[in-house]
A and B are shown apart, each in its own frame.
Chain A
């Protein structure tokens, strides 16, 4: 039996039948985000929402939240590009909080003598801990954006090469068959 299509393959074939209502309500926003994400992928990553400084600092912050070790982290997933797109489109109401939080982070880093993105990791970690204590809303939103940039569909700019899905052990297929996991392996009979 051929393997089922991945979700992306399935929707690549089905998206031609999108209804007028759907297109009117939402698709332009999604399409714009996808187009920007493609541009970001091919053009060496200009930001559309963040300034260059904000983008570099957000990427460094995301990399401390989900660091790169023996497996890829937020930097390889491109979480900053997800955030850059989302804050301009469907999460735009969060932009003022993120912008303010990044400005405070930048001020703190300046007292250490360098932009946040250029500080040594130990100094960055000290600042991340302080931000979590003193600006919990900004920290929660920054972390949510970072992790959303791992686990959302790659069309939104993050989860590049599906490294986020690999990190959380998620195999993206359009459909699955039992057995689904270890504990139900003997539950479905010989023909399952």
Chain B
């Protein structure tokens, strides 16, 4: 049952408005409200509940299910700023859910921790020419207690791997049952001389915190979990926040700008309510957790004469250093049936190539997982044809019939932060609530492509060693679709080169905090949500301490 939520008046000066209810916003809402603060969460998407989640891929991908439609959320893409941006058509360039719980509802829940090296690559490796590669102002050791909080409070299944970083507490539950793709990756990796481990997943393998375990329905990828076994913030955080009686979740409320007073402090958050009427919520402080694309949009739209290039943007870094993470895959067509459409996406991973190795001649690292070649709809309809394979007719039909025999070894890699990879406002597009559409400008760094090719070569070795009949590489191509939206409000000690400080406070605005993928300084190895949530738990501690000290 939905909790009877507290209701605040827009004139109430609540302690915090949290913009966004996803991976980060859901954690902040729960932490701040349980710490005794009054909280209003503004979420642009609807408040759906478990019974709303149908196993319907068409609805999820085209019917506006979790992500909304391109008509309501128009955006455009270009590789470089000298090109005209092309509006997204049929398939989006930015993939994220617009619902209470955000993309934690539709993610595939791979929960790799970052490693100590992720936080200090710049000082360890030196500069990478033409990039903004930088150290973080915080360390893995500082974040470790919060990774552990994610494990236990969000609910992560797994078991330690041979090269895992230090953990202060074991996983709360064992990994999900290995699938056929996991067996083949494990055995192929061993034969090729590599090591594998169980994939840590934010999906319950056992009952935990009153939630049931996974039923292996097979539709994690892009769909929400109706049993609540996937550890979305909707399942794990929002109910606790509402039970405090201090947190109001206001759904279908799209923020259009943040108002600041003559002293430069945030006063109110302006939004469009479900009836299309503009409203404004007063707050003592604001936490932006809207994601790496939406957060910069709100900051740009909040420009004033005091903040002419957008709120909190004296550094000029808002919207820049966008990082998607690299992704590529290799398909294995195997002699026997795998039925990868069943159960979770990935059950086994190889992290032997996590670290950047200067002897390779380029910056970058990543991981490999064994996964389904795609859901029935996506694989069959959209990812086909295989490169150089048949495109229609009897041979094409025969290829579709290979679906249960296919797996993918997918590669997840670093993206370098580049000032030229950006989120900006599209002057030609307007969304359903009157905001300018998002314009993505993105061109992979050559080292990012080299990293993808290097890792893909390893997947070919592994799949061949695993005994696949056919090993088919997907082309390593320039990214045009962003699923991870990172880096656009980076954290740093220097207000000239970063947007927020180590407490997530905007350098320019004392009562504005940012906590989502946008504050990431480096991209990690392709599975950022675990780190975004560890940061959110830590940010809540920092913000609480500042508030209690009267320093907000």
Contact with A along B396-423 (1 / 0, CB 8 A): 1100110111000000000000000000
CA distance in complex: A169, B384 (Å)? 16
A residues neighboring B (CB under 8 Å) = 7, 10-11, 14-15, 17-19, 21-22, 24-26, 29-30, 64-67, 69, 73, 86, 90-91, 93-94, 125, 128, 132, 141, 143-144, 147-148, 150-153, 155-156, 165, 167-171, 174-184, 187-188, 192
Task: Note all chain B residues with C-beta closer than 8 A to A179.
Answer: 180
Task: Note all chain A residues with C-beta closer than 8 A to B343.
Answer: 176, 178, 180
Task: Note all chain B residues with C-beta closer than 8 A to A11.
Answer: 54-55
What are 19 A-B contacts defined by CB distance under 8 Å?
Answer: A18-B51, A19-B49, A19-B51, A21-B47, A21-B252, A22-B48, A67-B397, A93-B71, A93-B90, A143-B391, A152-B56, A168-B380, A168-B404, A170-B376, A170-B404, A180-B177, A180-B340, A182-B336, A184-B183
Q: How many A-B residue pairs have CB under 8 A?
A: 178
Q: Which chain B residues (36-56) contact chain A, with CB distance < 8 Å?
A: 46-49, 51-52, 54-56
> What is the size category of the interface that chain B forms with chain A?
35 or more
Which of B61-69, B166-174, B317-325, B501-509 is the interface stretch? B61-69
8 nearest A-B pairs in the assembled complex, by CB-CB distance: A182-B336, A181-B180, A183-B180, A169-B404, A175-B215, A17-B51, A147-B381, A181-B338
Asked if A73 and B397 make an inter-chain contact with CB atoms under 8 angstroms apart, the answer reads yes
Q: Is B476 an interface residue (CB 8 A)?
A: no
Contacts A26-B59, A26-B64, A175-B216; is A183 near B336 (CB within 8 Å)? yes
Q: Which chain B residues (202-221) contact chain A, with CB distance < 8 Å?
A: 215-218
Most interface-central of A24, A165, A175 (chain B CB within 10 A) = A175
Q: Is B251 an interface residue (CB 8 A)?
A: yes
Task: Note all chain A residues with C-beta closer than 8 A to B246.
Answer: none
Asked if B57 and A29 make an inter-chain contact with CB atoms under 8 angstroms apart, the answer reads no
Task: Note all chain A residues with C-beta closer than 8 A to B338.
Answer: 180-183
- A177-B216, A187-B178 given; name 16 further pairs at CB < 8 Å: A17-B51, A18-B51, A22-B48, A24-B46, A26-B59, A93-B70, A132-B391, A144-B381, A150-B400, A151-B376, A180-B177, A181-B179, A181-B340, A181-B342, A181-B404, A183-B338
CA distance in complex: A147, B378 (Å)? 10
CA distance in complex: A128, B391 (Å)? 11
Asked if B393 and A64 make an inter-chain contact with CB atoms under 8 angstroms apart, the answer reads yes
Task: Note all chain B residues with C-beta closer than 8 A to A144.
Answer: 381-382
Task: Note all chain B residues with C-beta closer than 8 A to A7.
Answer: 55
Asked if A147 and B380 make an inter-chain contact with CB atoms under 8 angstroms apart, the answer reads yes
Chain B min CB distance to A173 (Å): 8
CA distance in complex: A66, B52 (Å)? 33
Asked if A25 and B46 make an inter-chain contact with CB atoms under 8 angstroms apart, the answer reads yes
Task: Note all chain A residues with C-beta closer than 8 A to B89.
Answer: 93
CA distance in complex: A181, B70 (Å)? 37
